[in-house]
A and B are shown apart, each in its own frame.
Chain A
Amino acid sequence: MTVMTTNRTRPVLYRRVRVDPMAERRRLSLMSYVALVVLVPVFLVVLAYVKLSSDQVKLKRHLSELRHQFGLKGMERQNTELEVEMYRKGSRIFGQIQRLGLGLQMPQRGQVTRVRNGAPVPASGAAAEAIVAER
């Protein structure tokens, strides 16, 4: 609106300015909103990323440690299997049978019959007490 004043000979032209006191607050509020909506999630994402990365590194180390342990146990198992063979040798077994007095005997002649794979099974009786398939 234009107002003409007359207290001087020359008229003064001025504009009436409407000052909105809430605008600044709205802007701050908007900025806060933006910060809240954008920055905080970004921050959280970054935090999450850092946390996940850290966890991943920890997991990798743990995995590596587990792999190491697994390999180690595998080696221990193989070692044990080989050491067990030492106790499975014939001389030791027969020695233990004698020492412990188990009374086990070697099969008598004809007690064990070795047949070929796929051959018909012999009739029952002493001769067929045990059948060992040929390798």
Chain B
Amino acid sequence: MKRVHCLTRLGLVCAGLLVAYGALMVHLYHLQVGRHEELHGKAQEKCLTSRPQLGRRGLLCDLLGNPLAGNLACKDILAEPKRFNAPRHEVIAVLARELKVSPVVLQARFARADTAGDRPVEVVVARQVDIRVAERLLEYQFSGLRFGDTYRRFYPRGKLLANLIGFLDEEGRGSSGIEQLMEGYLRPTSGRTVFERDRRGRRLESGIYRERQATDGWDVFVTIQEPIQQIVEDELAAMAQDFGPRAAYALMLNPATGAIMAWAQVPTFDPNDRKTMADPANWQNCILTHGFEPGSIMKGVSVAGALDYGVVSPNSQFYCEHGCWFYGGKPLRDSGHHYDTMTVSQIIQKSSNIGTAKIALAMGDKRLFQVLSRFGFGKAIGLGFREYGEGAPVLFPSEATGIFRDLDEWDTLSVTRFPIGQGVLVTPLQMVQAYASLANDGVMMQPYLVDHIRNPQTGEERYSVSVAKSRTVRPESARTIVQALKLVTREGGTAPKAAIKGYEVAGKTGTAQKWVSDPGGRGGSYAYDRCVASFIGFVPADDPAFVLLVVADEPTRGGSRYGGIVAAPAFSRMAERTLRYLQVAPVSGPMTADMRRAGGPTYGGEDTASQGLR
């Protein structure tokens, strides 16, 4: 009997042990198999660490490879004050001395970490610190300080081309200019290294190691050459100094290819110095975003259309009403001049408003609308990079279209006001594009800004190519208007100061009164004392190296507000220096097509090979 009890108890104990063992097995299965992923992940979290890899933002260079924007390697310094191995006041004193930051500021930052209880908190000590300074700080061997690799965008040419290049925001993304336009190419992709670490955080050679490589951004080469840009900026600044305009800008374009050659603006800013960006007028890109009433420089385009339709010939005569003509119940004046009968060429040369309005009337509003539409007014252009010219034009996010109303919105006066540049708002870029097509025998090229891009890691290069956009006028019409535009810079024209010794200059002056709205916002009038003075032209007239527009918005000094006085001399100086830089051979007289083919005559015995160098 006693033996039976003993066996029963033994059996029960064994059963209990078996059940416990079984439960243990089930639990183990649950841990090892059921929750494998979760627990394995947690374990790896303990011993794996990762470090970000920084890619380099692409460089911005001019056509010759001179860097316009690059990256300075630097360090972000962060601190975990609770881990300092030295008294806090000592660390603060060192940091304040090396980083030139107020100790009070550092004290306040570190105090924030104290409010977080036991949780470790990292505070920013300084961002984008020079690497040499960071190395000096490393030598102190403070624990609790962390140094992260980073880059700071640096613009070695300072103000040069600043409005076009743009700048980055706090996150390192392009927020204006080419930096924004080419963001997709310039931006690097960041990488990450994951590895198994030892107790001190060092990588275990035999442990897990995974790496996702960072890729650098593409380097971007613009079509602008630094020396030409410098010339244009210097002369624009001189003009601004002489005439004190509210703003001034100049744009140069190669009519044969559509490549932008210079892009200058006053006022401007230094992208390395944020203080110069306090006033938005300094960093806005007027050439792209600002529309202006072009005034008389529109006449060249309007008359080219009339010539193209065969409505007029260069010798067609128009009566200019002694300087004052009423049409649609409103007077149109010729700025104090009392012209009688003039030919079409003279109307351009003297810049007669009445003559141009009558030419436009002869053409009719439908044809005028078609002409101005063909020249691209009212449409955005898109200067962005198109690989080998493929795809749709890529627009600057801030590119303006100007204001060019549909035909059904035109009133009685429109046909007489639009051809003289009133009631139409154009961007400088649109106007240069229009004149470039006249200079290029009526073929409008797609303007472009990026010559090519290069992958710094693979060396792969992708190019832009010149693309003919459309035909604006027939070649004969273009050549005819060029002959008329040449008269503008000769004696008797409105801009003899735009002439350049040894070259023939074709161009047109503009002096547009600015529309000033009434205080109530209803209506307004043109102000006589607020003008936009401009000159647009190309040189050599028959085989142009470039088209150049110079605009002074509201000149206040210098005793004049006319385009022929304010902008034309600046045009002449810019063009003369640029021609010299490009070594374009001057001619002693008008150069015919035959002479061009023959390669002579040349001025001063110069080498004829300099032709066709553009």
How many whole Å from B316's CB to the nearest CB in chain A?
A: 40
Cβ B230 vs Cβ A82 within 8 A: no
Residue of B nearest to A123 (CB): B607
B609 near A79 with CB under 8 A, answer no
For the complex, is A35 an interface residue (Cβ under 8 Å from B)? no
A9 within 8 A of B: no
Residues B156 and A83 in contact, CB atoms below 8 Å apart? yes
Count of A-B contacts with CB under 8 A? 82
**Cβ of B158 and Cβ of A89 under 8 Å apart?**
yes
A110 engages B605 (CB within 8 Å): yes
Interface hub of B72, B603, B607 (most chain A Cβ within 10 A): B607
- Please state if A127 and B606 are interface contacts (CB–CB under 8 Å): yes
Which chain B residues border A85 with CB–CB below 8 Å? 66-67, 70, 156-157
Is the pair A76, B72 in contact by a Cβ cutoff of 8 Å?
no
- Give the docked Cα–Cα distance between A128 and B72 (Å): 42
- B72, B158, B580, B603: the one contacting A79 at CB < 8 Å is B72
CB < 8 Å: which of B156, B230, B583 contacts A91?
B230
**A82: which of B132, B154, B606 is its contact (CB, 8 Å)?**
B154
Smallest Cβ-Cβ distance to A73: which chain B residue: B131
Are B72 and A113 neighbours in the complex by a CB distance under 8 Å?
no
Residue of A nearest to B59 (CB): A82
Q: Are B160 and A91 in contact (CB under 8 A)?
A: yes
Interface of B is mostly: mixed
Taking CB atoms, residues of chain A closer than 8 Å to B502 are: 109
B66, B73, B233 — most chain A CB neighbours (10 Å): B73
Given contacts A85-B66, A85-B67, A114-B609, contact A109 B580 (CB under 8 A): yes
> B542: CB under 8 A from chain A?
no
Instruction: Assess whether A82 is in contact with B72, with CB atoms less than 8 Å apart.
Output: yes
Query: Are A134 and B157 in contact (CB-based, < 8 A)?
Result: no
CB neighbours of B230 from chain A (8 A): 89-91
A106 CB-CB contact with B under 8 Å: yes
Nearest opposing residue in chain B for A132, CB measure: B583
Contact A86 B607 (CB under 8 A): no
The residue that A112 contacts in the complex, of B66, B71, B583, B605, with Cβ under 8 A, is B583
B59 vs chain A, min Cβ distance (A): 9
Closest residue of chain A to B225 (Cβ to Cβ) is A135
Return the CB mask of A87-107 against B: 1 if under 8 Å, else 0.
Answer: 011110000000000000011
Q: Is residue A116 within 8 Å, beta carbon to beta carbon, of the partner chain?
A: yes
The B257-307 residues at the A interface (CB cut-off 8 A) are: none
- Cα A63 to Cα B499 in complex, Å, equals 67
B227 interfacial by beta-carbon distance below 8 Å: yes
Interface centre among B72, B205, B586 (most CB of A within 10 A): B72
Closest to B237 in A: A91
Docked Cα-Cα span, A83 to B607, in Å, equals: 39
A37 contacts the other chain (CB 8 A): no
Minimum CB distance partner of B612 in chain A: A116
Closest to A131 in B: B607
B26 within 8 A of A: no
A135 to chain B, nearest CB (A): 7
Partner of A114, one of B131, B160, B226, B613: B613
Known contacts being A113-B607, A127-B607, is A89 close to B131, with CB within 8 Å?
A: no
Does A122 touch B at the CB level, under 8 Å? yes
Inter-chain CA distance A70–B603, complex, in Å, is 57
A46 within 8 A of B: no
Q: Say whether, besides A113-B609, A114-B610, A86 and B66 are in contact (CB < 8 Å).
A: no
Q: Contact between B604 and A110 (Cβ–Cβ < 8 Å)?
A: yes
Interface membership of B135, Cβ < 8 A: yes
Q: How far is the CA of A127 from the CA of B156 in the complex (A)?
A: 35
Measured in the bound complex, the distance between the Cα atoms of B613 and A107 in whole Å is 18
Q: Which residues of B contact A59 (CB under 8 A)?
A: none
CA–CA, A21 and B440, complex, Å: 122
Q: Interface readout for B142-173 with A: 1 if CB under 8 Å, 0 if not? A: 00000000000010111010000000000000
Does B365 make an interface contact (CB < 8 A)? Answer: no
Asked if B208 is at the interface (CB within 8 A of a chain A CB), the reply is: no
Q: Could you mark each residue 59-88 of chain A with 1 if its beta carbon is under 8 Å from any beta carbon of chain B, else 0?
A: 010000000000010011011001101101
Chain B residues with CB below 8 A from A106, complex form: 580
Q: How far is the CA of A113 from the CA of B613 in the complex (A)?
A: 11
- B122 proximity list for chain A (CB < 8 A): none
Q: Of the candidates B71, B158, B580, which one forms a contact with A86 in the assembled complex, judged by CB atoms under 8 Å apart?
A: B158
Query: Contact at B583–A79, with CB atoms within 8 Å?
Result: no
Instruction: Determine whether A38 belongs to the interface, using a CB cutoff of 8 Å to chain B.
Output: no
Q: How far is the CA of A85 from the CA of B60 in the complex (A)?
A: 13
Per-residue interface assignment for chain B, residues 578 to 614, with 1 indicating a CB less than 8 Å from any chain A CB and 0 otherwise: 0010110010000000000000000111110110010
Q: Chain A: which residue is nearest B582 at the CB level? A: A114
- The reply to whether B609 and A82 contact each other, CB–CB distance below 8 Å, is no
- What is the minimal beta-carbon distance from B38 to any residue of chain A, in angstroms? 35
At the interface, yes or no: A3 with Cβ under 8 Å from chain B?
A: no
Shortest Cβ gap from B134 to chain A (Å) = 9
With A86-B157, A89-B160, A91-B234 in contact, do A76 and B131 touch (Cβ < 8 Å)? yes
- Report, nearest first, the 9 A-B pairs whose CB atoms are least far apart: A85-B156, A75-B73, A114-B583, A90-B230, A86-B156, A113-B607, A82-B70, A110-B606, A115-B609
Using a CB–CB cutoff of 8 Å, the interface residues on chain A facing chain B are 60, 72, 75-76, 78-79, 82-83, 85-86, 88-91, 106-107, 109-110, 112-116, 119, 122, 127-128, 132, 134-135
Ordered by A's residue number, 6 sampled pairs between the chains whose C-beta atoms are within 8 Å are: A72-B131, A85-B66, A91-B230, A91-B234, A110-B604, A116-B609
Q: A85-B66, A89-B226 are in contact. List 20 more A-B contacts (CB 8 A).
A: A75-B131, A76-B131, A78-B73, A79-B73, A82-B72, A82-B154, A82-B156, A83-B154, A83-B156, A89-B156, A90-B227, A91-B233, A107-B580, A109-B604, A110-B604, A110-B605, A113-B606, A114-B610, A134-B613, A135-B64
